Amino acid sequence: MTRKTSLMEVLTLSAIYIVLSITVILIIYPVAWIISGSLNAGDSLFSSTLIPKRITLEHFRHLFTETPYWLWFKNTLMIAFFNMILSTLLIVTAAYAFSRFRFPGRRYGLMMMLVLQIFPSFMGMIAIYILLLQINLLDNLWGLILVYAGGSIPFNAWLVKGYFDGLPRSLEEAAKIDGASNTKVFTKIMLPMSVPILVFVAVSNFIGPWMDFIFARLVIRSPENKTLAIGLFELISDRSNTEFTTFAAGAVLVAVPITIIFMLLQKYMVEGLKAGANKG
């Protein structure tokens, strides 16, 4: 019986390692291929070897000197940064209100946020497009920021509410006995205790607009408002455009800030996600 159990454990572990190894290869190979293409001479992403025979940085130079890459980068950074600030503020205050206060419509508000998660976001794009057109925010970076911030509230508010629900109420009650207001309790007690979930929400709301293409493509029209995703896509979208290796160089550079942020804040992000899920 012991031998059979040991054999089954070995086979199970072997199967798990095989599946994980295949998954890692499937994830890493496209990334390595794009990096290789960005360093490969010519306009083709194809290379006979994973490591190019002649490595060049010409595509990166071309990207910075002959395309408005810095403008695309600035627009995308502005959208991602202000969306991170605005959405985090809205999410945290909404989650705190739903977690700590009882008011008319609270239950229906929570149910509404839950139901909104059922529908894919692209179902409302036409309505959002018309709304932005009516308030003169079409082809405007602030229009994108407001839509991104509003769309991030339902899921993230549920997540942060679960985190707040797990925090002890005794500290708040003690602070209120000492004369602290709700605002002071929120800023001086709740926020310092919620750093992991706040970091997770902030970073996730920074990454979302940074990588988004579909909605930005729908709203943005003028060249001066293009984002990184739109600008890089247009390098290869037309039949006359064959700058695939320049596109690869831009894709590599797009991933660098996100990778750095994730590496620096990985601990807080994992802790925040686990805490929000477990305490819900």
More confident residue, 120 or 39: 39
* Same-domain check for residues 40 and 80: no
Q: Is pLDDT above 80 for 75? A: yes
Tokens 């572990």 belong to 13
Specify whether 158 is located in the same domain as 24: no
Same domain, residue pair 187 and 81 = yes
Residues 146 and 235 in one domain: yes
Q: Alpha helix (H) ranges present in the chain?
A: 2-39, 58-65, 69-100, 106-116, 125-134, 141-151, 153-165, 170-177, 182-185, 191-193, 195-211, 214-219, 228-237, 244-278
Pair (118, 138) in one structural domain: yes
Q: From CA 21, how far away is CA 8, in angstroms rounded? A: 20
User: Model pTM?
Assistant: 0.81
Which residues face 55 on adjacent strands?
40
Q: Do residues 49 and 72 share a domain?
A: no
Q: Are 210 and 72 in contact (CB under 8 A)?
A: no
Q: Which domain holds residue 200?
A: 67-278
CB 225 within 8 A of CB 139: yes
**pLDDT value at residue 77:** 93
43 and 78 part of one domain = no
Six-digit token pair at 155?
Answer: 């899921």
Q: Taking 80 as the threshold, does the pLDDT of residue 141 lie above it?
A: yes
pLDDT digits (tens, 9 = 90+) for 203-251: 889 988 888 888 888 888 888 999 998 988 888 876 556 677 888 888 8
Q: What angle do CA 205, 208, 210 make, to 5 degrees?
A: 110
Q: Considering the domain boundaries, does residue 113 fall inside one?
A: yes
Residues 86 and 28 in one domain: no
Give the total number of structural domains in the chain: 2
The domain spanning residue 195 has which CATH number?
Answer: 1.10.3720.10
Q: Are residues 17 and 137 in the same domain?
A: no
Same-domain pairing of 18 and 153: no
Same structural domain for residues 90 and 149?
Answer: yes
Question: Among 34, 56, 78, where does a domain finish?
Answer: 56
User: If we measure between CA atoms, which residue out of 212, 163, 197, 206 comes closest to residue 77?
Assistant: 206
Q: What is the pLDDT of residues 158-213, one digit of tens each?
A: 888 888 888 888 878 888 887 878 888 888 888 888 888 888 889 889 988 888 88
Q: Is 43 exposed, middle or buried (0-12, 13-18, 19+ CB in 10 A)?
A: middle
Q: Which amino acid is at 95?
A: A
> Residue 230: inside a domain, yes or no?
yes
Pair 166, 123 in one domain: yes
